[in-house]
């Protein structure tokens, strides 16, 4: 049998060397799937539509749908240019910047909220000045945006940087040789070629901002967003009480992943 036939057989048939990894991976997939199945199976004991019709739930949904897009817009506007610089330039302090970008992802959100309070809390110089000007940075929708941006913003930076790094520099050099300046090259060449990963990062940032709880709880317990309202409902009524808002957040997550699969690009995660 030829080498080509052997390679085809190995590619289409079962591989004994993959048996153990497949079993272990399958066990992990089951572990991830069971909570989703168990949660969705409980929706039959709760009237989701009625639960989402309460004033508290509607206010939480409204607040989340107001703040999460703003946080996503801020993170995208500031984060995409930063991602391009990190992908294309070396400069003193670059490693420190990279650490600062990733740090909110590894620090517990509650700790992130505490750090925000030490920077913009009502008793800090910045927070006191903002409050005196009638723009409170805590216990307000602006405080929610600050918390969401801090926790979710790194997603768009990390994914966009990966996209820019994958763009062949020769395309940018060709654009520069044709007379395009740095900004025109970025807008007409780099940005379109990295569009898939940027879209993925924007969607992930929005979904993470919508579901942000820990930092929001610290910075702006009121007005309540969907996650903070879920916590209040859980304290008062248990699992069944949080199903309506939980289903709403799960639906947003599924839509977001669908958008990524259709328009975005996370080659190492979703194909």
Convert 59-81 to b/e letters by CB count within 10 Å (16 or more is b). Answer: ebbebbeebbebbbebbbeebbe
pLDDT at 219: 94
Q: Which two tokens stand for residue 20?
A: 């153990």
Closest CA to 94 of 103, 102, 86: 86
**β partners of residue 270:** 266
Q: Where are the domains of the chain?
A: 44-263
Q: So what's the pLDDT on residue 44?
A: 67
Residue 264, pLDDT score: 65
What tokens were used for 231?
Answer: 């916590």
- The number of residues making up the chain comes to 271
The pLDDT tens digits along the chain (271 residues) read 455 444 554 554 456 778 888 999 999 999 999 998 888 887 765 677 778 888 999 999 999 999 999 999 999 999 999 999 999 989 999 999 999 999 999 999 999 999 999 999 999 999 999 999 999 999 999 999 999 999 999 999 999 999 999 888 888 888 888 888 888 888 888 889 898 899 989 999 999 999 999 999 999 988 999 999 999 999 988 888 888 898 888 888 888 888 877 776 664 444 4
Beta-bridge partner residues of 266 = 270
Predicted pLDDT of residue 263:
72
Peptide bond into 223 cis (omega under 30): yes
The reported pLDDT for the residue numbered 6 is: 46
Quote the pLDDT of residue 1.
46
Which CATH class name applies to 44-263? mainly alpha
The token pair at 123 is 């008793």
Structure confidence at residue 176 (pLDDT):
84
Distance of alpha carbon 265 from alpha carbon 200, whole angstroms: 6
């Amino acid at each position: 049998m030829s080498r080509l036939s052997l390679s085809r057989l190995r590619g289409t048939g079962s591989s004994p060397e993959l048996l153990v990894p497949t079993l272990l991976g399958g066990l992990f997939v089951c572990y991830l799937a069971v909570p989703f199945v168990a949660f969705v199976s409980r929706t039959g004991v709760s009237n989701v539509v009625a639960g989402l019709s309460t004033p508290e739930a509607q206010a939480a949904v409204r607040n989340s749908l107001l703040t999460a897009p703003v946080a996503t817009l801020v993170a995208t506007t500031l984060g995409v240019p930063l991602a391009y610089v990190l992908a294309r330039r070396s400069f003193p302090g670059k490693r420190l910047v990279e650490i600062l970008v990733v740090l909110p992802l590894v620090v517990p959100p509650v700790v992130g909220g505490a750090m925000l309070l030490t920077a913009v809390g009502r008793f800090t110089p910045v927070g006191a000045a903002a409050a005196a000007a009638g723009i409170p940075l805590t216990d307000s929708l602006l405080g929610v945006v600050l918390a969401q941006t801090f926790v979710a913003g790194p997603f768009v930076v990390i994914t966009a940087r990966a996209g820019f790094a994958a763009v062949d520099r020769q395309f940018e050099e060709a654009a520069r040789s044709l007379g395009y300046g740095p900004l025109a090259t970025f807008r007409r060449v780099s940005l379109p070629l990295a569009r898939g990963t940027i879209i993925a990062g924007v969607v992930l940032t929005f979904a993470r901002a919508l579901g942000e709880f820990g930092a929001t709880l610290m910075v702006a317990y009121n007005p309540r967003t969907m996650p903070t309202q879920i916590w209040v409902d859980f304290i008062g009524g248990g699992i069944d009480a949080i199903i309506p808002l939980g289903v709403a957040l799960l639906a947003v997550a599924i839509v977001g992943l669908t958008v990524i699969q259709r328009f975005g690009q996370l080659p190492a995660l979703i194909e």
